[in-house]
């Protein structure tokens, strides 16, 4: 006999870039993208953003309010740019957890951070943002930088982050968003759909993954929608800051 709830579950769909796919398929498709790009991830970030991703990340740290001795979760942390900065900020008495669903990205992150001498207060956890394997009220701050876009059930992920934040803790979501200025939109589209996949092809031998990147950015909720989703998950005093004309936005919300 067919279990009806199982049948309707397998028919649920979501987006993978511009394609509509079964929900269960997306996690493997996203995994393939990041297995494929892991080794060239950092160099591609610098090339694609002309190095500006460093400023967006710096701004995120500045808005985090993280202090010595605190516990931070860098979720979907990948190659660990934010983890490295937080590790220095929280010091020996604090702790940073770099969590990511993808073992190739985690491996690159762990190697990179060890090579630059970041050891001691950082731990590495393979985890899905939708079901975080931490007790309630664990972290003072959670960041998810360029990660939420790739998560299948974003509402479940936001609820999970809310659960593991301590009261008084804050979530920072750094993500591509909607440019606030129409002419910028056109130039940005031309760059994303024509130039970016070519750079991906030349540098990472993978134009397809960078086509997914451009498409996934367009499918991601805009500034106001993401703010409403955070509020729905329980976050309060939620605000966002447009960076580089809204190409990227930093959302921040608190758990009280």
Ligand X SMILES: C[S@@+](CC[C@H](N)C(=O)[O-])C[C@H]1O[C@@H](n2cnc3c(N)ncnc32)[C@H](O)[C@@H]1O
Consult the annotation and say whether 145 binds a ligand: yes
On whether 128 is known to bind a ligand per the annotation, the reply is yes
Q: Which stretch binds ligand X (CB under 6 A): 9-17, 61-69, 124-132, 184-192?
A: 124-132
| Secondary element (H or E) of residue 84 | helix 81-90
92-121 footprint of ligand X as x/- string (CB under 6 A): --------xxx--x----------------
**C-beta closer to ligand X: residue 90 or 174:** 174
- Does 147 contact ligand X by CB under 6 A? yes
The reply on whether position 134 binds ligand X by CB under 6 A is: no
29-to-14, 32, 94, 140, 251 alpha-carbon distances in Å: 12, 5, 35, 32, 26
Answer yes or no whether residue 34 interacts with ligand X by CB under 6 A. yes
Site string for ligand X, 185-204 (x = CB under 6 A): --------------------
Rounded Cα gap, residues 43 and 201, in angstroms:
13
Q: Cα separation of 140 and 171, whole Å? A: 9
Nearest Cα residue to 128 out of 164, 81, 95: 164
Q: Which is nearer to ligand X, 146 or 162 (CB)?
A: 146
Among 26, 81, 96, 178, binds ligand X (CB under 6 A): 81
Q: What is the rounded CA–CA span in Å between residue 235 and residue 21?
A: 30
Q: At what angle do helices 52-64 and 41-49 cross, to 10 degrees?
A: 100
Chain centre to alpha carbon of residue 169: 18
**What is the spatial distance between Cα 154 and Cα 152, in angstroms, rounded to a whole number?**
6
Nearest residue (CB) to ligand X, 121 versus 216: 216
Annotated binding-site ranges for S-adenosyl-L-methionine: 79, 100, 128-129, 145
Q: Which residues bind ligand X (CB under 6 A)?
A: 30, 34, 76-79, 81, 100-102, 105, 128-130, 145-147, 150-151
């Amino acid at each position: 006999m067919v279990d009806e709830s199982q049948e309707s579950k397998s028919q649920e769909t979501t987006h993978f870039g511009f394609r509509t796919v079964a929900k269960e398929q997306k996690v493997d498709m996203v995994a393939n993208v990041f297995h494929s790009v892991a080794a060239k991830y950092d160099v591609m970030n610098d090339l694609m953003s002309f190095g500006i991703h460093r400023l967006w990340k710096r701004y995120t740290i500045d808005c985090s309010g993280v202090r010595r001795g605190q516990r931070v979760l860098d979720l979907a942390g990948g190659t660990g740019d934010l983890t490295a900065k937080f590790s220095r900020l929280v010091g020996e008495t604090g702790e940073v957890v770099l969590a990511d669903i993808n073992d190739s990205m985690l491996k690159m992150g762990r190697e990179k951070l060890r090579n630059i001498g970041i050891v001691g207060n950082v731990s590495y956890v393979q985890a899905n943002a939708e079901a975080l394997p931490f007790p309630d009220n664990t972290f003072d701050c959670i960041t998810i930088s360029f990660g939420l876009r790739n998560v299948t059930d974003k509402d479940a992920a936001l609820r999970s982050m809310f659960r593991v934040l301590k009261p008084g803790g804050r979530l920072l979501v750094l993500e591509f968003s909607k440019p606030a200025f129409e002419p910028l939109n056109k130039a940005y589209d031309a760059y994303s759909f024509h130039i970016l996949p070519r750079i991906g092809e030349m540098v990472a031998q993978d134009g397809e993954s960078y086509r997914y990147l451009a498409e996934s950015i367009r499918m991601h909720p805009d500034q106001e929608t993401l703010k409403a989703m955070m509020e729905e998950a329980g976050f309060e005093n939620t605000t966002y800051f447009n960076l580089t004309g809204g190409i990227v936005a930093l959302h921040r919300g608190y758990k009280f």
